[in-house]
Structure 1
């Protein structure tokens, strides 16, 4: 018995302690950090640098430093719910099953559904580089980052640009924005819709045990008009608009053709669709009514606040005054077609209805007029600047969501062609040829 305790139980216990408080293993799943970090790199991050998690709570032990610009950081992606459906009142987090995702207890399962809920692919962890901290002013123009008014000419690590043309997407254009600091008061009505969406995300990160919703109402001449359909809703063809574009083409049985990224399309879009998308924040990828067995699986996709830029822009188009040509040389006041030798002026057409959007942000069901920031915030970007889903799209990352500082590459494996398969013994001989031996043991902050 003593031998079993010494040889198995004690090492396993110590390993769990290390995993919980000291290190985090992470695999690079995409090319957003190339060429600093490559798809197939396996690395270790140090949890205690920024603060290890307190067991069975949403709190963290103090770290010995805060993230700084230039740090490569592993953090929980803010574009997914921490609890299924973003509902901490209904679900209790049981434990993190590491590579198998997270398990939750559903206190109010649907009829015939189990209490045990499995979130196999989330909440996801991301890895990006911190480029700005609380108090910094950030802007992006033609894809180039500026911090505190100074354009950042040098890409850190082995970063790169790949785009040969620029559009108005958040990848290329992001208006000036101050990263919030502890104690800052942010007023909901003073923000654009997209910034209100970013605030919703910030609040959700800082208050993981409370539900946070952004509810929009469309007003027409002061009266509620949520059933309004934008007959020609203009949408720029950008990757971050994919949810809306797919829905538009599905609803209208349209086929996308002869268009390229950066073009603008017009199509009917009901306000109710955008309103519901904004309120839900996370779209379920698995129907909760799908029959399940011992556990019920959930999976989600978030949407980017840039869609709300489009909503504001289309409301402004509805409110734009129409003009007609008036022949000032005519003897009477009748409107006639202007002749070649007569002057014309623009005159307003009939009074148009005025559209506006009212927003209501709630925390735990209680409406907020303003919010006071509790924790430091950080702006993240991928080193592969033109192929990275990052803070340009979904806003700042709260200190509470930050999990570890990326430290060292302990393994690196290239298998883009899929010629090695663990399930196929006849391909195992290729394994030594797939390992990137020169990357093993690289200290991440020394990669340049």
Structure 2
């Protein structure tokens, strides 16, 4: 046998490298970009159809795969239909850091490690590289309505085109015994999902519905800066620093940001536990609502932090129902003290309409004063009077109807935000009690007993 060592060949080495490493990586990236999306169920909003700890694969090409380096999609062979379980980008977060596409360029999605952006105008001492670790987030919900459908929610029950939906899709559940008109979870007055070509009039919208319109515009124009500008007029004169002496807020999950701000600013220490449906009151300045409605979110990490290889960003979204509360409180200012309760009920702010408000005399406006909110929608700094819808819209809800942050709170999802159609469960791991920890080898023995073997391979449309 010839034992002569073979000479090293750069050509053969490159061919082997290409065959064993480069080509498989390229094929994997193509599949990830155009064919599938992996997703982990992080919460219980789809229970019991999908469980926390389910790992899914979604099909991107069903609704249209993304076109690289653009905000467009290739045509899909269908659009989301009522009943589809859909993975989509949450519309309540900025797609670009600080919602500023002119300043930031998206570099790449690092999958479980989040998104990276290039900051063209970093502050002195800050790096150009920006890491958006927890966003923009992807959500998974069930599509319950499409453009042209009429929807409403009453006492937690969904109505589609006037028909009450008494049964829930999949293995959904509806368990709460306490219902309140203060929460979008339970009450949404009837509305029509806009269709392509519909013209949305800015002046005719309530503040909360205007927030939904803002979301539509932002989703359809991701490279534009969309802002809701509100101004408080007192007897026709701007008073954007007006202090509400007793701003009333119902205690609901979507009011958490506002309630925290009220307690912090007024140094309120609760003497008793608040329960859902309670109403609290405290001084609040109009400037808080004006600033939040303009930017739409609050940074969770100091945006002026210096140093490091990359700058971290993270945000908490501003729920539009707070703007309904603002309208209700302004209506109370304009109502005589004796009839302030009826003023709330008659206002467009249905989030306060039947809250347990005990109106105090100081909640009414001083005699002779009139308050109103002037609103404008700005696109790249220019006010618009109406907007024509460009792409189909969808209304999403979780199967766990009492514990799902969905379209009832933040409005419609645009076709452009749709990522994939959920297809199959490829793995499922139960760890609700956190008894297993990857960082603690002493808990690794639990792994075989925590895998939900019966759920692996389940085709999601067949879960029902």
> Which residue matches 2:229?
215
Relative to 1, partners in 2 of residues 1:350 and 1:140: Cα closer, same or farther, differing over 3 Å? closer
Give the one of 382, 388, 407 matched to 2:398. Answer: 382
TM-score (norm 2): 0.90
Q: Separation in 2 of the partners of 1:323 and 1:155?
A: 44
> Which residue matches 2:213?
199
Q: Separation in 2 of the partners of 1:108 and 1:45?
A: 36
Q: Separation in 2 of the partners of 1:310 and 1:271?
A: 12
Deviation at 1:221, TM superposition (A): 1.1
> Which residue matches 2:245?
231
Give the one of 74, 78, 100 matched to 1:61. Answer: 74
Is 1:160 the counterpart of 2:176? The answer is no
Is 1:441 the counterpart of 2:457? The answer is yes
Deviation at 1:229, TM superposition (A): 0.7
Once superposed, which parts of structure 1, at least 4 consecutive aligned residues long, lie more than 3 Å away?
none
Unaligned runs of 5+ in 2: 1-13, 340-364
Could you report, residue by residue, the CA deviation over 1:181-211 in whole angstroms, capped at 9, with x for unpaired residues?
Answer: 1000001110000000000011000000010
Query: How do 1:109-124 and structure 2 match up within 5 A?
Result: 109-124=122-137
Could you report, residue by residue, the CA deviation over 1:109-163 in whole angstroms, capped at 9, with x for unpaired residues?
Answer: 0111011100001000000000000011111000000011111111000000121
Q: 1:319, 1:352 within 8 Å by CA — same for their partners in 2? A: no
Q: 2:126, 2:305 within 8 Å by CA — same for their partners in 1? A: no
> Which residue matches 1:71?
84
Give the one of 278, 281, 288 matched to 2:293. Answer: 278
Q: Separation in 2 of the partners of 1:35 and 1:323?
A: 48
Unaligned runs of 5+ in 1: 325-348
Report the RMSD for the aligned CA atoms in angstroms. Answer: 1.4
Secondary structure of the 1:392 match is helix
Q: Separation in 1 of the partners of 2:379 and 2:258?
A: 26
Could you report, residue by residue, the CA deviation over 1:323-378 in whole angstroms, capped at 9, with x for unpaired residues?
Answer: 59xxxxxxxxxxxxxxxxxxxxxxxx995211000011011111110000000000
Secondary structure of the 2:294 match is helix
> Which residue matches 2:36?
23
Deviation at 1:425, TM superposition (A): 2.5
Q: Separation in 2 of the partners of 1:193 and 1:26?
A: 34
Q: 1:321, 1:352 within 8 Å by CA — same for their partners in 2? A: no
Q: 1:420, 1:428 within 8 Å by CA — same for their partners in 2? A: yes
Q: 1:51, 1:60 within 8 Å by CA — same for their partners in 2? A: yes
Relative to 1, partners in 2 of residues 1:153 and 1:108: Cα closer, same or farther, differing over 3 Å? same
Secondary structure of the 1:190 match is coil
Could you report, residue by residue, the CA deviation over 1:80-112 in whole angstroms, capped at 9, with x for unpaired residues?
Answer: 000000000110111111111001111110111
Q: Separation in 1 of the partners of 2:273 and 2:64?
A: 51
Is 1:254 the counterpart of 2:260? The answer is no
Query: How do 1:17-416 and structure 2 match up within 5 A?
Result: 17-168=30-181, 169-256=183-270, 257-322=272-337, 351-416=367-432
TM-score (norm 1): 0.93
Q: Separation in 1 of the partners of 2:149 and 2:245?
A: 40
Q: Separation in 2 of the partners of 1:9 and 1:124?
A: 30
Secondary structure of the 2:37 match is strand
Query: What is the count of residue pairs matched by the alignment?
Result: 425
Q: Separation in 1 of the partners of 2:366 and 2:275?
A: 37
Deviation at 1:167, TM superposition (A): 1.3
Secondary structure of the 1:146 match is strand
Q: Separation in 2 of the partners of 1:179 and 1:391?
A: 11
Q: 2:398, 2:406 within 8 Å by CA — same for their partners in 1? A: yes
Deviation at 1:321, TM superposition (A): 2.8
In terms of mean alpha carbon deviation, does 255-264 or 313-322 score higher? 255-264
Secondary structure of the 2:203 match is helix
Deviation at 1:260, TM superposition (A): 1.4
